[in-house]
A and B are shown apart, each in its own frame.
Chain A
Amino acid sequence: MTESKKIRLYKIIAVVFVVFVLFLTGDGIKNPEINHRSMCIVMGIDGEESGVSASVQIIVPEPQGQGKQMIVTEKGQTLSEALDRINISIGQKVELGHCGLIILGEEFVKKPIFSEMLYLLSSGKTSPDVNLVVAKDIKAKEVLSKLNDLSKIVSEGINNIVAYADTGVHITRKGVLGFLSESFSAGASSTIPCMELGQDEYAGEGGMGAQGAASTSGAENSSGGSGESGGSGSSEGGKGEGQTVIKSMDKLVMFKDGQKVGITSTEGTRGVVWLNKRAVTGLILLKDVKMADKTVDYLSCKLISKRVKTTARFVDGAPVFTVKIAVKMSIDDKYEIADIVEKDEQVYYAVKDAMKQLIISEISATEKEGKQASCDLLDINEKFNKFCHKEFVEYGDVLDSVRFEYDITVNIL
């Protein structure tokens, strides 16, 4: 066969093949049409007397419109069984790849949750970084049923509220892989953000509409790094009585060996956030800042960047944990002190000192709460295991005896 004939033959074969593949039916390639897929956006897991129950919010896309939404709940001895029952009940396989949030019921986290989390990670059904939250005083299934209310706050739904927390404000989030990594580290401790729902207290008083609330929720959340009053990152919106809103997401559920051992305070949470390298922006509220001849009750500062370095070492046989944080910030409420800051260097230093004290006090609060719950909130044991492995193996758990040293640098721009 000549070269040109061969090339012609190859072309014909290629065209026939392309036509064959193009005209394969959906059944032939086992690839369901988009409107035959069920995509889970949010999952809830609740503890039962024996086993677990899984709830999924599913979206079935439709050729026109936004698609159907439904919530399906099934029980099983394991998460795998519960999910399988959901598949059976809706007659198709629920795809978890788009699931952005897993809500854990408070009952569920009272027992070790390793097996369920490991199942989600190792099966590859969900992304390793799918967000986790623990619903306080409410079942995950009930949270899912209120999702429509919550979704009015931001158009993309509850998942974005959690996702925004990671990058937009100075609070923290946790994914499945992060949770398991921390739980299997030397400290065997981890945390998951705690979501508290409640009724909108402004309902019936002409509260903000969904759009208005959406624009303010970020700012409200941003006060996550503040003093006493700024803790609750409440998001509010919608009119009418009985509107469900997220009351707070500024606390952490502490886990030891995969089991809930307590909940941090708002201040204790912020100590964790200070050592979180991912949370680098947000608003910090300084309280009672004394400067020159006046005291400013609340001073909002905008965190622009943050560098965190922690070191662990043994000094004369005693464990010492050094926290080095370099913060760049600007003063958001400039009108409060605009007249004095630039003139008086002492005022400038007063703000810096107030920020340093806030950071130290919040990390100390975290340390204290962690010790009380025997939970290594700041990953101290793991740091010692990494950097002073031999000494750590001989010494054992350092949580109760570790001494903290701080090196905080604050730059006001």
Chain B
Amino acid sequence: MENKLLSRERLDSKQLYSLIFIIMMSVKMFMVPALIIRDAGRDGYMVMSFYIVIEMLALVVSLIAIKLAKSDICTIFERTYGKILTVTIFLLLAFYYILKISLVISEVKMFFLFSASEEFSWEIYILPLLVFLMVAAVKGLNGIGRLAQILLPIIAVSIVLLFVLIVSKPDYTNILPVLENGTGGVMNGIKKYPVWFGDLPLLCFCCGRVKREKRFILKSMVSVALSSVVVLYFSSVLFFVYAHLSKMVDYGHNISNMVVYASGNYMFGRFDLLIFCVWLTSVLVQTAYMTCVATELVRYVFRINAFWAGAGIIVALYITSNFLFRSEVQLYNFCMGVPRYFAVLSTVLLPILTLIASVVSKKGEGDKGKAEFCGQENTILTAQGGDWAKQGESL
């Protein structure tokens, strides 16, 4: 039986692949390389690789959980862990995701401050973004999935253009010497920045709400692999370009600055900014997905409808963005502190807990199914799920 507090919107497989590609890439490629380079210098790609591998493993576990789950995540968690523990976990995750959304929003702000205009009224410019997030919160998964699917080709083209602009210019030999100053910097990077990673396990919340096709795990892994290559390439190029100046890189230097450097904007103007802004839509898609998940968690915990849950989150984001953390640096420093431990919950524990819950729930369903062959739950699942239930069972 599905939890009535969750949206009944469903993702089809192609939307899932698009989301995986976008979520894997967006925030990791946006600003965090500029932070990592300060700790790990030219070896920053090792920090990125570490988190990418962790995230890919977490995705595999999440996808298996999605495949096995017969109900939504709230239902299987309640069945396996009980209501109190489920509410506690979801409440913690809701807070963590709201913090992550604030972080991403502040990065968007930082980008425009650094790359476009030093002075602009963020209190006004954030409004369209919040309206967009509110729509995402209310519309649910399917809307975001469709948006991801529509934007994917455009984002892919912008990636190709950025690649073409950059590829021939950086000195790739700057990868050497490897670990010149030992492993300390890399370890520091791994310890400090988990909040910026671990986005894919959020897909656990798609449990029971994906219209799966054949080999959807394999295809999802192809999508994440492609995305990982993009992330690693672009972040590594930043590490190589700024290899000798790692301590001087400011938060705000990103791929856009690198394109300016590589393409020689003195000849062509700032068209790199246009391309990068197109790419930036991927960050918005990810933020929308996180808002949608956070809304569903808040709905579940506080038993309220999507509109009020979404509105609450939007207000929280506005306050966090404009009042609570007046300077971005405060927020980033905060994210390098206690929230790191919540990142472990979100990145590592959530997929494992979801997988266990799926297995337990599947077993329970199977036993129940044998006892009540034409029982109420199977009837509801088939009626609500339509094609996906049939496809799911065929898998």
| In contact, A163 and B261 (Cβ under 8 angstroms) | no
Q: Known contacts being A100-B266, A124-B115, A184-B244, is A129 close to B120, with CB within 8 Å?
A: no
Bound CA span A104–B120, Å: 31
Q: Binary interface profile of A, 81-116, with partner B (CB < 8 Å = 1, else 0)?
A: 000000000000101010011000000000000000
The CA of A210 and the CA of B252, in the complex, are separated in Å by 42
- In the complex the two chains form, is A127's CB within 8 Å of B260's CB? yes
Of residues 98 through 146 on chain A, the ones whose CB sits less than 8 Å from some CB of chain B are: 100-101, 118, 121-125, 127-131
**Which residue of the partner chain A has the closest CB to B267?**
A163
The verdict on A17 contacting B128 (CB below 8 Å), with A124-B114, A124-B252, A181-B245 known, is yes
User: Once the chains bind, are B131 and A29 in contact (CB under 8 Å)?
Assistant: no
Q: Are B250 and A124 in contact (CB under 8 A)?
A: yes
A56: shortest Cβ distance to chain B, in Å? 16
Q: Is the CB of A387 within 8 A of B245?
A: no
Tell whether, in the assembled complex, residue A180 and residue B244 are in contact, meaning their CB atoms are under 8 Å apart.
Answer: yes
CA distance A123 to B250 in the complex (A): 7
Segment 222-249 of B: residues with Cβ below 8 Å from A: 241-245, 248-249
Tell me whether A28 and B124 are in contact (CB under 8 A): yes
| A124-B257, A128-B261 known; A185+B250 contact, CB < 8 A | no
B266, A129: Cβ atoms under 8 Å?
A: yes
Q: Are A124 and B253 in contact (CB under 8 A)?
A: yes
Interface bracket on B: 35 or more
Q: How far is the CA of A286 from the CA of B383 in the complex (A)?
A: 85
Closest chain B CB from A29 CB (angstroms): 5
Whether a CB of chain B sits under 8 angstroms from the CB of A68 is no
Encode B102-145 as 1/0 by CB contact (under 8 A) with A: 00000000000011011111001101100100010000000000
Taking CB atoms, residues of chain B closer than 8 Å to A183 are: 244
A15 touches B (CB below 8 Å):
no
Is A167's beta carbon under 8 Å from chain B?
yes
Q: Cβ of A24 and Cβ of B248 under 8 Å apart?
A: no
Question: For the complex, is B264 an interface residue (Cβ under 8 Å from A)?
Answer: yes
Pick from B119, B135, B270: contact of A93, CB below 8 A.
B119
Set of chain A residues within 8 Å of B114, measured between Cβ atoms: 124
Q: Which residues of B contact A31 (CB under 8 A)?
A: 117, 120-121
Supposing A31-B120, A127-B266, A128-B257 touch, asked if A185 and B244 sit within 8 A by C-beta, the answer is yes
Flag if B253 contacts A29 (CB, 8 Å).
no
Q: Are A184 and B261 in contact (CB under 8 A)?
A: no
Which of A31, A167, A387 has the most chain B CB within a 10 Å cutoff? A31
Q: Chain B contacts of A294 at CB under 8 A?
A: none
Q: Taking the nearest CB of chain B, how far is it from the CB of A256, in angstroms? A: 15
Residues in chain A near residue B248, CB distance under 8 A: 118, 121-122, 180
A122, chain B: closest CB distance, angstroms:
5
Is B265's beta carbon under 8 Å from chain A? Answer: yes
Specify which chain A residues have a CB less than 8 angstroms from the CB of B242 in the assembled complex. 177, 181
Inter-subunit contact A29/B124 (CB<8 Å) = yes
Smallest CB separation, A127 vs chain B (Å): 5
| Bound form: Cα–Cα A31–B121 in Å | 8
The answer on a CB contact under 8 Å between B115 and A163 is no
List the B side residues contacting A184 at CB < 8 Å. 244-245
Residue A292 interfacial (CB < 8 Å): no
The contact of A389 among B124, B176, B241, by CB within 8 Å, is B176
B118 cross-chain contacts in A, Cβ below 8 A? 93, 95, 125
Known: A123-B250, A128-B257. A180 touches B245 (CB 8 A): yes
- Assess whether B176 is in contact with A387, with CB atoms less than 8 Å apart: yes
Min CB gap B121→A, angstroms: 4
Given A30-B119, A122-B249, A124-B252, are A24 and B124 neighbors across the interface (CB < 8 Å)?
yes
Tell me which residues from 160 to 186 in chain B have a Cβ below 8 Å from any Cβ of chain A.
173-174, 176-177, 180
Q: Are B266 and A131 in contact (CB under 8 A)?
A: yes
CB distance A122 to B250 under 8 Å?
yes
A385 is an interface residue with CB less than 8 A from chain B:
yes
Q: Among B120, B253, B270, which residue has its beta carbon within 8 angstroms of that of A30?
A: B120
Residues on A with beta carbons closer than 8 Å to the beta carbon of B245: 118, 121, 177, 180-181, 184
- Which A residues are CB-close (under 8 A) to B243? 181
- Assuming the contacts A29-B121, A93-B119, asked whether A129 and B264 have C-beta atoms less than 8 A apart, the reply is yes
A129 touches B261 (CB 8 A): yes
| Of A14, A129, A386, A387, the contact of B265 (CB 8 Å cutoff) | A129
Which chain A residues lie closer than 8 Å to B261 at the CB level?
Answer: 127-129, 175, 177
* A70 close to B (CB within 8 Å): no
The chain B residue with its CB closest to the CB of A184 is B244
Q: Provide the bound-state CA to CA distance between A124 and B265, in Å.
A: 14
The answer to whether the Cβ of A166 comes within 8 Å of any Cβ in the partner chain is yes
Q: Which of B258-275 contact A (CB under 8 A)?
A: 258, 260-262, 264-267, 270
CA distance A219 to B172 in the complex (A): 33
Is A12 part of the contact surface with B, judged by Cβ < 8 Å? Answer: no
Docked CA distance A159–B264 (Å): 12
CA distance A118 to B131 in the complex (A): 39
Question: Is B177's CB under 8 angstroms from A30's CB?
Answer: no
- Smallest CB separation, B350 vs chain A (Å): 32
State whether A386 touches B131 (Cβ < 8 A). no
Question: A129 contacts B177, CB within 8 Å?
Answer: no
Most chain A beta-carbon neighbours within 10 Å: one of B241, B244, B260, B266: B266
Q: B113: shortest Cβ distance to chain A, in Å? A: 9
Chain B 260-304 per-residue mask, 1 if CB under 8 angstroms from chain A, else 0: 111011110010000000000000000000000000000000000
A185 proximity list for chain B (CB < 8 A):
244
Q: Pick the residue among A28, A95, A177, A181 that contacts B121 (CB under 8 A).
A: A28
- Provide the residues of chain A in CB contact with B264, threshold 8 Å: 129, 163, 166
Q: Mark A160-186, 1 if CB is under 8 A from B, else 0.
A: 001100110000000101001111110
- Asked if A21 lies at the interface with its beta carbon under 8 angstroms from chain B, I say yes
A21, A118, A129, A185 interface centre (most CB from chain B within 10 Å): A129
Q: Which chain A residues border B252 with CB–CB below 8 Å?
A: 124
Chain A positions within 8 Å of B115 at CB level: 124
Question: Are A386 and B173 in touch, CB under 8 angstroms?
Answer: yes
**Bound CA span A261–B257, Å:** 31
- Give chain B interface residues in 170-225, CB to chain A under 8 Å: 173-174, 176-177, 180
B261 CB to closest chain A CB, in angstroms? Answer: 4
Closest Cβ of chain A to B168, distance in Å, is 9
Having A10-B135, A31-B121, A100-B266, one finds 6 other A-B pairs with CB under 8 Å, namely A122-B248, A129-B260, A181-B244, A184-B244, A387-B173, A389-B176
Closest 4 CB pairs of A and B: A389-B177, A184-B244, A386-B176, A30-B121
Query: Can you spell out 22 A-B residue pairs with CB atoms less than 8 angstroms apart?
Result: A17-B127, A24-B124, A28-B121, A28-B124, A29-B121, A29-B124, A30-B121, A101-B266, A118-B245, A118-B248, A122-B249, A127-B261, A128-B260, A129-B264, A130-B266, A159-B266, A177-B241, A177-B261, A180-B244, A184-B245, A385-B177, A389-B180
